[in-house]
Amino acid sequence: MKLGVNIDHVAVLREARRVNDPDILNALHVACANGADQITIHLREDRRHIQDIDAKNIMMHSQLPVNLECSINKDILNIVSDLRPHRATLVPEKREEVTTEGGLDVFTYEDKISYAIEQLHDYIIPVSLFVDPTIEAIEKSKELGAEMVELHTGSFANIFAMLYSSLPHTNHSVKELELPRHELAIRLEKSLQELQTAATHAKKIGLEVAAGHGLNYHNVSYMMSIEEITELNIGQSIIARSIFTGLADAVKEMKRLTTR
């Protein structure tokens, strides 16, 4: 299992005060030195965390492959094309969202996604599509020409958190999941089966399979049982843990948990 460490949240903290502290390049080097297999960043249209200069510097200084997440916005695609990352992962993006809330709608935006993939391929950049774990989305991703899919694990992570963490007792409780524990347990099992089925089908039709969103030190073990998933991209939980342990130890511990 490859571990992609997403360092966006280091930039979130930096942008809160609009100073260069913490330095994103320091985070890059610590992650590279302590078990990361790749670096993942998301260059958002609103530049709420990673900036253009960050993306350029990370590409220049990273000792590891860089997975650059981006929308299908043409201006963003032009920047990504010039940077030529190891891989581009196309994700949905809304200005008002706190974080990516679901998989890419590969049907509604089929033409735009197809154009984006063609442009990236022209620059010899492999493409992954961040999609919900459905057979339909997997097949459409293959049809559009992607080499890889990253399965959106947000639904699984939310159910897990409502079942096994203090989330229900906070202001961030997921209202639609305020259900009896036995119902949450059934939904958790169903979400895991959906991920397994999607991963199995993706591999069967020749796609590489990654997973990400909401994965943390408590729930990541569930992903390890899905053999078809060969890469996990994890960010917020690693950066959150680093406040208490330091980034080096936070990355090392996640790498330990994701080693088969």
pLDDT tens track, the chain, 260 positions: 999 999 999 999 999 999 999 999 999 999 999 999 999 999 999 999 999 999 999 999 999 999 999 999 999 999 999 999 999 999 998 755 555 568 999 999 999 999 999 999 999 999 999 999 999 999 999 999 999 999 999 999 999 999 999 999 999 999 999 999 999 999 999 999 999 999 999 999 999 999 999 999 999 999 999 999 999 999 999 999 999 999 999 999 999 999 98
- Residue 204 is predicted with a pLDDT of 98
What is the longest distance spanned by two Cα atoms in the chain? Answer: 51
Among 9, 42, 49, 152, the active-site one is 42
139 is catalytic: no
Per-residue CA distances from 18 to 12, 48, 58, 59, 191 (Å) = 10, 11, 19, 22, 39
42 is catalytic: yes
Tokens in use for 60? Answer: 């220049």
69 is catalytic: yes
- Residue 93 is predicted with a pLDDT of 85
DSSP for 171-218, written as a single string = TT--GGG---HHHHHHHHHHHHHHHHHHHHHHHHTT-EEEEESS--TT
- Going by C-alpha positions, the residue among 253, 255, 193 that lies closest to residue 222 is 193
Q: Which residue has the tokens 């947000």?
A: 154
- Residue 120 is predicted with a pLDDT of 98
Among 9, 49, 69, 228, the active-site one is 69
- Residue 99 is predicted with a pLDDT of 52
Tokens in use for 201? Answer: 């089908």
CB atoms within 10 A of CB 85: 27
Among 9, 49, 152, 213, the active-site one is 213
